[in-house]
């Protein structure tokens, strides 16, 4: 018993010390990144389209592009990123312990994560939502027809809770078939272990695209949850939070303003007629200085991988095997939800 | 006999005088037909079972054979470089998409090890074979074992890089320790071992760091450093498997002897340790190594994850091996112990010369059993974000845009690699048992 008390006291002391250390780093993440010459970015251990490793061990994907944008803004070099793949379970602990500078890992922005876990979501880079996929031959047109169906679901995720809520509110029943990974889900679904597969709509699209005959399967119209995914940083360092937030906003605003990787060189060479483009690209005003970044940080971000729309098309858009349409992730001018605050 | 020869002349006339030429056995009693009748269709139920089994085998083969034979490998230049392209090549026919193995074999075998440095783990692998041979086959010249002695240091340097002086100095520390051992072993074997460990630990902790940086300043011989996080794929399984098995056997012997000891404190410690480790799943120990230990170390302590995992797996395997060896010790007739005492040998002499050689021989099958199990258990590290062969497949390659949807090809490849190694170990142990068989059976 005595030993127990001693051990827990020791553990508590260690936790406090770690917390204090993280806070101590707090105001200085930007300086630390500049000193180190590289950004430590937490990403998924592997998620189709969002973070994956190519044959040369290079990370690429939609979430990875956000890391690269921040590295381009702060260090002028989109390759100056140390990627740290983190699992679902450890992601917040790793961020809070100061091991990584930011997390860009398809993480849903929720109240408790923002407030209770002492994290700061800087924005949304993908609006997702949970959906259902069924074989076409089942003849189902709405998720409400799924009474009693075996449903493949990733255990231990918010999708599991959403599913339970949905079936309870609609007063129908289901049999959960627990699986752990996307590829396992795909196999289980194909083998007929479950009649329905539910996960985020982006994941459903990727899974459906990987089938030999995608047209034999349909994604039902119901979206039963809101999953705003975005990059996040620790509480307590607002300057660093601003850097990540406005790097993301630069990607979004650049698309709205028509700045692409093709014309960014031309537009940033000399001031143009549009003052907002000038401010964003650093040819006018001192936005970069306010953030503690070089004046041309915006130009560096767009040069890295293009604007939001280009990144979307490159990694998850309609010309990729995943084939996601913009949907909610279109600019507000096109009926989507992307709306970057003004650069002023 | 005499009787027969005297009667030779009175042979009855109806008795055949010459031998009938041997006729071949009936067709049903010979060759393949007999074998089939006796083994496959000896009775109606057996015949039915045979037919069912044949049908199942046929079904399996008709699935697997076209998949294997029709598989798409492709070439470096032309692809296919994604599942989609694979399917276009197959045009609807059944066939595996083995192109993924062709494209990703480096990641499967070496993880994220720097691509320019792949010769290092390759050389280490062949070095390992060279180093293992003289230990595995006693008849090879004993001098080759010197290489085995040096190999761990060479392997460490090749795999992790850095300055060459660290492994050289560590080797020096081991030699110093050996000198201490040979000075003390005259008094007692136990004291000798203690002296060896003390000298090695002290020099390693206090001297190697400063001296190696000074020496490296004078004569810099360096390989580019590789972080443990970059080492992955099958070599990670290999490193963990080989290191942990070779470290856990001596530790297991010590624990087994400790458990049989008459000294209550030593016995108590060993019993508690073994029972505790055997009562806890390996995965729990791995989680402790990866997450919990951080709470007990200073915040910035850089205690390499690989070392933490090696320690945990070694402790785990040692507890099991200790029990296997205890079985061997218990199986020895009491007369062997008494004979050793009667010869006037002290405890360590008796153990080294009489008891352990016999007990270890008895325990070979179960030790090998544990070693094979342990080698396969190294795949568990993929859960604590070390990317071994299985982690590489499940976390990385399964989740790339190009290969999402490829499944059996990669897992089959992993199974194939593991089968080769495990089957090899098991065959070797059977050979070893035959070699060491000195009893009269």
- Here the tokens at position A294 are 């070089």
Nearest CA in chain A to B294: A14
Q: How far is B134 from chain A (nearest CA, A)?
A: 37
Element (H, E) at A44: strand A39-44
Across the interface, of A55, A207, A320, the residue whose CB is closest to B401 is: A320
Tell which residue, A287, A297, A292, has the closest CA to residue A72.
A297
Tell which residue, A81, A85, A83, A84, has the closest CA to residue A45.
A85
* Domain range summary for chain B, segments of one domain joined by +: 30-65, 106-113+230-436, 162-223
**DSSP-derived secondary structure letter, A61:** S
Residue A42 has pLDDT above 60, yes or no: yes
- Pairing of β A174-179 and β A149-154: parallel
The CA-CA-CA angle for residues B385, A151, A230, to 5°, reads 45
CB contact under 8 A, A182 and B299: no
For residue range B274-296, list pLDDT tens digits in order. Answer: 999 999 999 999 888 887 776 77
Residues of B with CB under 8 A from a CB of A: 82-84, 87, 103-104, 106-107, 112, 115, 291, 294-297, 299-300, 385, 394-396, 398-402, 404-405, 407
Residue B12 has pLDDT above 60, yes or no: yes
- pTM comes to 0.84
Decide: B323 and B246 in contact? Cβ < 8 Å: no
**Cβ contacts of B116-125, under 8 Å, gap ≥ 24:** B117/B161, B117/B223, B117/B224, B117/B226, B120/B158, B120/B159, B120/B161, B120/B223, B120/B226, B121/B158, B121/B159, B121/B231, B121/B235, B123/B158, B124/B154, B124/B155, B124/B158, B124/B159, B124/B235, B125/B235, B125/B238
Instruction: Check if CATH label 1.10.357.10 holds for domain B106-113+230-436.
Output: no
- In angstroms, the CA A175 to CA A204 distance is 19
Residue B145 has pLDDT above 50, yes or no: yes
Q: Which of A52, A62, A184, A213 to mutate to test the interface with B (most CBs of B within 10 A)?
A: A52
- Mean pLDDT of all residues in B164-178: 88
- Mean pLDDT of all residues in A312-324: 90
Ranges A158-172, A291-305, B297-311: which has the least confidence: B297-311
Instruction: List, in sequence order, the alpha helices (H) in A181-232.
Output: 182-190, 201-209
In angstroms, how far is the first alpha carbon of chain B from the final one?
39
CATH class of A2-127+228-334: alpha beta
Domains A2-127+228-334 and A130-225 share a fold: yes
Residue B225 has pLDDT above 60, yes or no: yes
- In angstroms, the CA B307 to CA B149 distance is 20
- Here the tokens at position B196 are 């060896």
- In angstroms, the CA B425 to CA B396 distance is 29
* B18 C-beta neighbours (distance < 10 Å), count: 5
Taking CA atoms, A32 is separated from A28, A81, A85, A120, A240, in Å, by: 6, 13, 20, 19, 10
Instruction: Check if CATH label 1.10.150.20 holds for domain A130-225.
Output: no
Predicted local confidence at residue B239, as pLDDT: 93
A213 lies within 8 A of chain B by CB: no
- In angstroms, the CA A4 to CA B219 distance is 51
A59 lies within 8 A of chain B by CB: no
For residue range B22-35, list pLDDT tens digits in order. Answer: 888 887 787 888 88
A321 lies within 8 A of chain B by CB: yes
A57 lies within 8 A of chain B by CB: yes
Element (H, E) at B31: helix B31-39
Predicted local confidence at residue B441, as pLDDT: 53
- In angstroms, the CA A126 to CA A308 distance is 10
For residue range A75-96, list pLDDT tens digits in order. Answer: 999 999 999 998 877 888 889 8
CB contact under 8 A, A52 and B399: yes
Predicted local confidence at residue A14, as pLDDT: 45
The ipTM assigned to this model is 0.81
């Amino acid at each position: 018993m005595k030993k127990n008390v001693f051990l827990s006291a020791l553990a508590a002391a260690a936790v406090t010390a770690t917390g204090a250390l993280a806070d101590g780093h707090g105001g200085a993440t930007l300086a630390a990144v500049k000193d180190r010459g590289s950004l430590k970015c937490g990403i998924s251990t592997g998620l189709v389209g969002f973070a994956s490793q190519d044959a040369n061990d290079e990370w690429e994907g939609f979430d990875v592009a956000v890391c690269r944008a921040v590295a381009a803004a702060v260090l002028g070099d989109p390759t100056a990123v140390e990627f740290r793949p983190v699992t679902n379970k450890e992601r917040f602990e790793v961020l809070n312990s100061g091991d990584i500078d930011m997390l860009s890992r398809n993480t849903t922005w929720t109240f408790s994560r923002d407030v209770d876990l002492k994290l700061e979501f800087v924005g949304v880079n993908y609006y997702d939502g949970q959906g259902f996929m069924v074989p076409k031959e089942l003849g189902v047109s709405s998720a409400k027809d799924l009474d009693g169906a075996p449903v493949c679901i990733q255990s231990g995720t918010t999708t599991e809770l959403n599913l339970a809520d949905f079936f309870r509110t609609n007063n129908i029943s289901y049999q959960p078939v627990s699986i752990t990974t996307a590829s396992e889900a795909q196999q289980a679904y194909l083998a007929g272990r479950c009649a329905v597969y539910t996960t985020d709509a982006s994941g459903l699209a990727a899974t459906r695209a990987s089938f030999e005959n995608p047209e034999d399967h349909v994604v039902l119209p119901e979206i039963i949850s809101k999953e705003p995914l975005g990059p996040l940083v620790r509480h307590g360092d607002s300057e660093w939070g601003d850097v990540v937030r406005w790097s993301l906003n630069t990607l979004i605003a650049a698309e709205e303003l028509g700045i692409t990787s093709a014309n960014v060189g031309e537009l940033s060479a000399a001031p143009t007629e549009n003052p907002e483009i000038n401010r964003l690209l650093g040819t006018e005003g001192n936005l970069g200085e306010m953030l503690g970044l070089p004046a041309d940080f915006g130009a560096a971000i767009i040069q890295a991988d293009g604007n939001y729309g280009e990144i979307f098309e490159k990694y998850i858009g309609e010309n990729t095997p995943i084939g996601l349409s913009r949907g909610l992730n279109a600019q507000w001018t096109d009926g989507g939800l992307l709306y970057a605050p003004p650069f002023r | 006999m005499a009787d027969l020869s005297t009667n030779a002349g009175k042979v009855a006339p109806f008795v055949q005088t010459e031998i009938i030429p041997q006729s071949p056995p009936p067709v049903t009693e010979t060759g393949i037909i007999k074998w089939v009748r006796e083994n496959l269709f000896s009775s109606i139920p057996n015949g039915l079972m045979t037919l069912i089994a044949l049908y199942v085998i046929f079904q399996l083969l008709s699935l697997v054979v076209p998949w294997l034979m029709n598989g798409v490998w492709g070439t470096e230049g032309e692809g296919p470089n994604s599942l989609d392209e694979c399917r276009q090549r197959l045009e609807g026919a059944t066939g595996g998409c083995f192109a993924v193995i062709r494209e990703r074999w480096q990641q499967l075998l070496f993880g994220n090890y720097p691509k320019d440095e792949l010769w290092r783990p390759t050389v280490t692998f062949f070095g390992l074979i060279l180093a293992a041979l003289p230990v595995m086959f006693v008849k090879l010249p004993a001098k080759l074992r010197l290489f085995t002695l040096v190999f761990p240091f060479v392997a460490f340097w090749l795999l992790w890089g850095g300055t060459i002086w660290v492994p050289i100095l560590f080797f020096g520390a081991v030699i110093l320790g050996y000198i201490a051992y040979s000075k003390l072993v005259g008094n007692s074997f136990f004291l000798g071992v203690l002296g060896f460990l003390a000298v090695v630990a002290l020099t390693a902790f206090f001297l190697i760091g400063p001296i190696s940086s000074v020496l490296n300043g004078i004569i810099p011989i360096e390989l580019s450093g590789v972080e443990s996080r970059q080492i992955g794929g099958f070599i990670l399984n290999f490193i963990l498997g080989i290191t942990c098995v070779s470290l856990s056997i001596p530790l297991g012997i010590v624990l087994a002897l400790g458990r049989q000891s008459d000294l209550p404190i030593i016995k108590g410690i060993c019993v508690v340790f073994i029972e505790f480790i055997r009562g806890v799943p390996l995965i729990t120990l791995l989680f402790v190594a990866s997450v919990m230990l951080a709470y007990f170390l200073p915040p910035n302590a850089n205690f390499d994850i690989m070392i933490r995992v090696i320690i945990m797996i070694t402790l785990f395997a040692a507890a099991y091996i200790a029990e296997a060896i205890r079985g061997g010790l218990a199986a020895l007739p009491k007369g062997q112990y008494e004979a050793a005492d009667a010869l006037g040998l002290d405890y360590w002499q008796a153990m080294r010369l009489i008891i352990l050689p016999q007990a270890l021989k008895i325990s070979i099958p179960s030790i090998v059993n544990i070693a094979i199990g342990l080698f396969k258990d190294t795949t568990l590290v993929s859960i604590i974000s070390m990317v071994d062969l299985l982690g590489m497949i499940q976390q990385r390659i399964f989740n790339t845009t190009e290969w999402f949807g490829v499944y059996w090809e990669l897992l089959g490849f992993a199974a194939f690699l593991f089968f080769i190694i495990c089957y090899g170990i098991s065959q070797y142990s059977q050979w070893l048992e035959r070699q060491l068989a000195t009893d009269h059976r």
